[in-house]
Amino acid sequence: MDIKFNEILKEKKSTISKRWLDTMIASYPKDDSGFLMSQKDRFANPVGYTFTKGLDGILEVLIKDEDSAESLQFLNDIIKVRAIQDFTPAKAMAFIFQLKTIVREELRKEIRQNQIYVELLEFESKIDDLALNAFDIYVKCREQIYELRTDELKRMTFTLLKKANLMSEIPDPDPESEPKDQN
């Protein structure tokens, strides 16, 4: 990516990051979003902290134009939270694509003045790659959730059947303790 584009992104990073967080928090009901925005303590508000640090970290990695492995850890933390919440997959991951709009709006003037449309497209391609990785993470998280739910349901069902005396455990036969034919 062009150095000029990265420099402009660095200058606007805090504004872009704040807007990105605000946009993500806006996807929550009013009661929750107020808490997520007002409480800054890591332990009192672990979700807000995860979002703040994660979005800042992702944006930093995108601006540095480095390997995406570092951004995947930040993304993983955010997506794990979004996967267990009551969002559709599209709503859970919409925040990634919203970064494109925020960057375009924040850098509109600079993009026109410096004719850095190609660099913008390259940056947006990195966001698209990030979204694909986020989808993979989201699906894995949801699979784990469904597996946990299924296992819990099996345990509950077995326990209920056993308490109702509708099921008993069948001991494994020990081949050495079975009576042998005397014939």
- 158-171 residue pLDDT tens: 888 888 777 666 66
Half-sphere exposure of 43 toward its Cβ, with a 13 Å CA cutoff? 0
Is 160 domain-assigned?
no
Which of 36-45, 73-82, 95-104, 124-133 shows the lowest per-residue confidence on average (mean pLDDT)?
A: 36-45
Distance CA 54, CA 109 (A): 27
In a domain? residue 36: yes
pTM, full prediction:
0.76
- For residue 65, the model assigns a pLDDT of 76
Number of domains in the chain: 1
Residues in the chain: 183
What per-residue confidence (pLDDT) applies to 149? 87
Strand, coil or helix: 2: coil
Q: What is the pLDDT of residues 49-63, one digit of tens each?
A: 899 999 999 999 998
Q: Could you tell me the residue range of the domain that residue 21 belongs to?
A: 3-138
Name residue 49's amino acid.
Answer: Y
Compute the distance between CA of residue 23 and CA of residue 27 in angstroms, rounded to an integer: 7
C-alpha dist (Å) from residue 137 to 50, 67, 95, 111, 143? 16, 18, 15, 32, 10
Domain assignment present for residue 177? The answer is no
